[in-house]
Structure 1
Amino acid sequence: MGNQVEKLTHLNYKEVPTADPTGMDRDEGPRIGVSYIFSNDDDELEQQQDSVHDLGGENPALQPYDPQLHEVECSVYYRDECIYQKSGGHLSTYTPENLLNRCKPGDLVEFVCQAQYPHWVVYVGDFQVVHLHRLEVVNSFLTDASQGRRGRIANQLYRYKPLSPAVVVRNALEQVGCKDRDLSWRNSECFAAWCRYGKREFKIGGELRIGKQPYRLQIRLGDKRSHTLEFQSLEDLIMEKRRNDQIGRAAVIQELSSHLWAGRPSPLPSACGFGDRKLIFPAGPREGSLPV
């Protein structure tokens, strides 16, 4: 899935841009200094679509998209604090034209489609958005950035305190033209979330990946069943969450069931809350990173 290392982005610890440019991030603590950029998930998407057409198969993205059926409902916890939640109330989607009547400067928009990674953008006003696409931060019209996908305003998914709309827009516009080795984000979601919340945890190498895993991704499987995965950084967790969104709810449930209960006759047990089952991932992103 495009896990090859593209390039070393920083040569030493001092060159890594982990501080918040607005001065809002006052969280002190150790941060890693060497980071890597991997293939962009938007590029992977376009390659996958081309492969489907080349093989003469049916493109799943052209099938009717039902968020309730295809999307993975989940929560993200940092220690005991819920910092992200996607549930049934967050799944409604709108056409790009409809979104234009709903967006205000500083809003985050998430475009979704079956078998695709979600694509996040920052609305900056005048029908335009700023987003990370093909390893470059670009300014586009919202309708162009959507590529025909339906979307939703994603302000309520992350529970961090947002910066002011003016600062969010400024953060986004100041990065337009940034590309390749100058990038500090691995995907469009991390970039958009950083613009709105200013937290270095969304940046490449923003957190130290050693010791206890403080982040938990709780995946809801339905019928009061859930499954918990543990990670050492928010960036690692986001990459796994996006992979789940790309493969879809049915595939995630099947994958977890096969992994946990291979060779066992019983299905996943019914349970509530945290702790029904846990997987602990080692340090480093799930999409093929090298340990740093």
Structure 2
Amino acid sequence: MGNQVEKLTHINYAEVPTSDPNGFDPDGDGPRIGVSYIFSNDDDDDDQDERADRYPPEREPVNHEEKPFDLQDELDCAIYYREECVYERAGGAAAHAPESLLNRCRPGDLLEFLATGQYPHWAVYVGDFQVVHLHRAEIKNNFLTDVSQGKKGRIVNALYRFRALPPEVIVRNALDHVGTRDRELSWRNSECFAAWCRFGKREFKIGGEIRIGKQPYKLKLQFSEKKNHVLEFQSLEDVIMEKRRNDQIGKVAVTQELANHLNSTHEIKGDYYISCCGATPPPSSHRC
């Protein structure tokens, strides 16, 4: 595949010209053409888009039939900012029933509720059996057992490798935004909101990073010990959108989808790095 421009992903991505992600043109003939992925929406945990008024759906409707979460269908992945690993999920942690999860929670914890065929739903535990979360274009404060809707959940504080704020600050960040809705929202989905509450980084907000053609973020999908695939993105927000889409459709579907886009001469190989703009993969010393 090399430096050729090809559609690597699903049909609702729009392609626009971008300059080389390394900031130079090795041929000296001006900017090279890369691929920028523009995401239309994130359905989160149901079939109503949280931001439907701002991000109209462009892809075919998906089946959100709720099934028990299957850990075997969860795809391991890592996110890099340049050469730094900022997120890693390898051998995902087991999920627990809501009542069991309550006994493990502490104020400021990030929670993830899971069901096969649905987007993971994230929330911030604020104490007294309650969580704050972004749901259907509004930030709400509800009981954990109500938010779970019977789904299993787990604590996911360690997925992002940023320094966490003090617990009281995390809780205050969450509670201060209860009632925010629709166009007042600064987050595209429940994960971005919950992560922002815990880490306070603007990268989780809508438009938190200027897209100037460079693609400093890489999403590494780990299919097996020797088979992986890497995609490049302009912002952390974009990476999260793609990661959540993969979680919603599951490992088997992602594998099949990727196979459909790679012809027989570009099969997934051990440590095969897919780069549409000619960037180099993260050095081994920086791999998660």
Q: TM-score, normalised by structure 2?
A: 0.74
Provide the residue aligned with 2:217 in structure 1: 215
Q: Is residue 140–residue 178 contact of structure 2 (8 Å, CA) maintained in 1? A: yes
Higher relative contact order (CA 8 A, sep 6+): 2
1:160 correspondence with 2:162: yes
Shift of 1:46: 5.6
For the residue of structure 1 that corresponds to 2:259, the secondary structure is helix
Cα distance in structure 2, aligned partners of 1:260 and 1:193: 33
Same amino acid, percent of matched pairs? 59
Provide the residue aligned with 2:18 in structure 1: none
Q: Is residue 201–residue 235 contact of structure 1 (8 Å, CA) maintained in 2? A: yes
Cα distance in structure 2, aligned partners of 1:244 and 1:260: 17
Shift of 1:61: 2.2
Q: Is residue 40–residue 134 contact of structure 1 (8 Å, CA) maintained in 2? A: no
Shift of 1:201: 0.3
Cα distance in structure 1, aligned partners of 2:47 and 2:176: 27
Alignment of 1:92-171 (within 5 A): 92-171=94-173
2:184 to 182, 187, 190: 182
Shift of 1:59: 7.1
Cα distance in structure 1, aligned partners of 2:276 and 2:251: 18
Q: TM-score, normalised by structure 1?
A: 0.73
Cα distance in structure 1, aligned partners of 2:105 and 2:215: 36
Cα distance in structure 2, aligned partners of 1:197 and 1:210: 24
Shift of 1:187: 0.1
Alignment size in residue pairs: 229
Listed one character per residue, the Cα deviations across residues 41-94 of structure 1 (whole Å, up to 9, x for unaligned) are 2375368xxxxxxxxxx97523x4321x21111000000000000110x33111
Alignment of 1:23-42 (within 5 A): 41-42=43-44
Provide the residue aligned with 1:76 in structure 2: 79
Shift of 1:210: 1.3
2:202 to 186, 200, 210: 200
Listed one character per residue, the Cα deviations across residues 2-25 of structure 1 (whole Å, up to 9, x for unaligned) are x8xxxxxxxxxxxxxxxxxxxxxx
Cα distance in structure 2, aligned partners of 1:149 and 1:279: 38
| Structure (1/2) with the larger helix percentage | 1
Shift of 1:224: 1.2
Q: Is residue 43–residue 134 contact of structure 1 (8 Å, CA) maintained in 2? A: no
Cα distance in structure 2, aligned partners of 1:82 and 1:150: 28
Q: Would the alpha carbon gap of residues 135 and 129 (structure 1) be closer, same or farther in structure 2, given more than 3 Å must change?
A: same
Q: Would the alpha carbon gap of residues 279 and 110 (structure 1) be closer, same or farther in structure 2, given more than 3 Å must change?
A: farther
Cα distance in structure 1, aligned partners of 2:115 and 2:213: 36
Alignment of 1:11-22 (within 5 A): none
Structure 2 unaligned blocks of 5 or more: 1-9, 13-38, 50-62, 278-288
Decide which moves more: 163-172 or 221-230. Answer: 221-230
Provide the residue aligned with 1:65 in structure 2: 69
Structure 1 unaligned blocks of 5 or more: 4-36, 48-57, 281-292
Listed one character per residue, the Cα deviations across residues 230-279 of structure 1 (whole Å, up to 9, x for unaligned) are 00000011000000000100010111111122xx278422x13xx53235
Q: Would the alpha carbon gap of residues 182 and 60 (structure 1) be closer, same or farther in structure 2, given more than 3 Å must change?
A: closer
Shift of 1:223: 3.9
